[in-house]
Amino acid sequence: MRKTLSRAVLGVTVLGLAALGLPGSAAAAPAPRDVERTVTDIVPVPVQAKADPKANFTLTPLTVIRAGQGADDVAAYLRGLLRTATGYPLPVVPRSAGLPAISLEVGHADPRVGTEGYQLNVAKSGVTLKANTSAGLFEGVQSLRQLLPSTIDAKSAQFRASWTVAGGSVLDYPRFGYRGAMLDVARHFFTPSQVKLYIDQIAQYKINTLHLHLADDQGWRIEIKSWPRLATEGGKGAVNGDPGGYYTQAEYKDIVAYAASRHITIVPEIDMPGHTNAAQATYAELNCDGIAVPPRTDTEVGYSSLCISSPTTYKFVEDVIRELAAITPGKYIGIGGDEAHSTSDADYKTFYQKVSPLVAKYGKLITGWHEISKTQPPASAIPQYWDQGGANADVAAAAARGNKILMSPSNHAYLDMKYNAQTPLGQDWAGLVEVKDAYNWDPATLVDGVGENSVAGVEAPLWTETLRTSDNLEYMAFPRLPGIAEIGWSPQASHNWDSYRERLAKQAPRWRAQGIDFYASPQVDWK
């Protein structure tokens, strides 16, 4: 239970700091009031932001975090963010009792902020963050942390006398409700701890969805208890014969819970009817001839297909959907649908006519690659567009029927594309995608016939044919992912490359403090 910090406890805290010579002790010399960036430098850029240099707030060992009703979890998260580098106690209390405070309040925010927006005010006397929901409060914390010196993200105590929070006010809310990243754990396997690291990295840019690509030709990554060898045998493979792996259902649920603590929803995807070689190599009955296919570790696409005419196929699909739905609290299940070149058009439509109702049967909604548009899925389904813009009659027709389209153009949003011809990682089939290319596009004008009201949001996929480590993921995601996050969050009217590149440059010290191995694009004058 939270308790108001007593004067006696405060006295012990300050004396203890002084005795140890820790930051904030009476013996410590004052630190410079450095302000690396202001409220107008936040990424993604807020709807409204007004800097006030005279209103800087000083974080000291006496500062408390005041959590109003419904704010406890976000307050605890904020405390965790700030304690390592500062070494300060930063107790979470229900009342600040005149002490300098960062106050978190759920409710009584400006109606314009909606369910994910927030109001932030930084004054000399304290910091106030308001939102209508804990999700909005969490997104506000991501802006607040950018107003502190970059070393606030260091992994060890920094021994400073105080920390300055840049003064000013922000009113902010998202352009689109779906702001996603995708991580391909099928081509190369990434452990739960690596996935959690990526979750923390994307959360700071107000990403609210992580799409996990859990199965492909090279490997199956999730335990399905009714088909146990999918994971134990099908999970052994990876591109180039690298080590595989899989998540037990308990591990998956732990990842889901961790993401939820960062206000990120996990969308699991099982690609089908193509991209299924790992399953077909494991269970012979998934092939029309009843003979298991050989495992594959190459990166070719389009050769595999489930047996569309077999009842066993639909038992398999239903079992997978049923078990995934039971361990996924989010609304959506991804059912793939891309590059099914070995499935005839008629069979493809037959497959989804049978599979789409199974998702609804287990209480979930559909996401899938934009090819599913031609099957006329229910209006609640979200087709994910991955082509390069322009005309697409099926996608436009889906939008006309009421489907919201998720925008992931491969020539802008695919984080595995090389930056330039010399980039040591990644691919180039969709082109070379520099930082400016990843930023300079508009989801509402990308596809003919799909306007602002038909866009669900944006997603930045990260395919891992060439990526093996967390450093690899970071190098390809940063600095491009923050730009795609800004496209999803910020008003289109604020979209300006020259302004963005200046704000992006100021993110570099934060990434260095976090140990993010980013690509130092020559298009940006890094700080």
Active site positions, annotated: 339
- Angle among Cα 118, 124, 128 to the nearest 5 degrees reads 20
**Do residues 221 and 189 lie in contact, with contact meaning Cβ atoms separated by under 8 Å?**
yes
Distances from the Cα of 61 to the Cα of 7, 58, 128, 140, angstroms: 13, 10, 18, 23
Hey, which bits of 94-193 come out as E strands?
101-106, 118-123, 126-131, 163-165, 168-172, 178-184
Strands 405-407 and 455-462: parallel
Distances from the Cα of 262 to the Cα of 156, 206, 257, 258, angstroms: 22, 10, 9, 7
Determine the 3-state secondary structure of 25 from DSSP: coil
CA distance 484 to 178: 12
The enclosing H or E element of 472 equals helix 470-477
DSSP designation for 176: -
- Indicate the burial class of 58 (C-beta count within 10 angstroms; 0-12, 13-18, 19 or more): middle
Strands 168-172 and 48-51: antiparallel
What DSSP line would sit under 273-311, residue for residue? SSS-HHHHHH-GGGSTTS-PPPP--S---S-----TT-H
Amino acid (1-letter code) at residue 3: K
Closest CA to 74 of 221, 203, 171: 203
Instruction: Count CB neighbours of 66 within 10 A.
Output: 24
Do you know the residue count of the chain? 527
Strands 64-67 and 101-106: parallel
CA distance 208 to 242: 31
Determine the 3-state secondary structure of 34 from DSSP: coil
CA distance 262 to 259: 5
CA distance 389 to 407: 10
Strands 382-385 and 405-407: parallel
* Distance from the Cα of residue 245 to its chain's centroid: 22
